[in-house]
Amino acid sequence: MSKLRALHTRVGISATVVALSGAGLGLATATPASAAYAGYCNNQASKAMSGAGHLVAKLPAYNGNVNCQMYKGANSSAVKALQITLNKCYGRSLTEDGVFGDRTRTALIYAQGQEKIGTDGGYGTDTRTNLGWYFKNTTGSGGTCAYL
């Protein structure tokens, strides 16, 4: 099913649930597989490197929760955090503009392949936990790439 058709289906189902609820009727629904996610990544969360003093990574997050997802078409500071890591840790040359376009998707597929995980070009828990992240030194220049 195309993403657009899936979106229209979800919107239609949501409207039906609202209409039934307003009429005093309920509708039992199954929990979708994506319910484990906080939502679509829309900002950044900071993570300090254990025992390394002033090294901090910016991770994609949904309102501070790093358990989020994003795909081509996303546009946020979360995408920029991913782009920085793809550049610094995987040698890509992306413009760090926060736009998840074709080049960011291709760079993510490359990184996923390097880490031997699914290469779907989408960002979620498996990608977050398996990528090496760029930890910047907050007291000066430089940084390092490390796994979470």
Three-point CA angle 41, 67, 43, nearest 5° = 30
Angle between helices 102-114 and 77-90 in degrees, nearest 10: 50
Architecture of domain 36-147: Orthogonal Bundle (1.10)
| Structural domain boundaries in the chain | 1-30, 36-147
Tens of each residue's pLDDT in the chain, 148 residues: 333 333 333 333 333 333 333 333 332 322 333 335 678 999 999 988 776 678 999 999 998 899 999 999 999 999 999 999 999 999 999 999 999 999 999 999 999 999 999 999 999 999 999 999 999 998 888 899 999 8
List, in order, residues 6 or more apart from 97 with CB less than 8 Å away: 80, 83
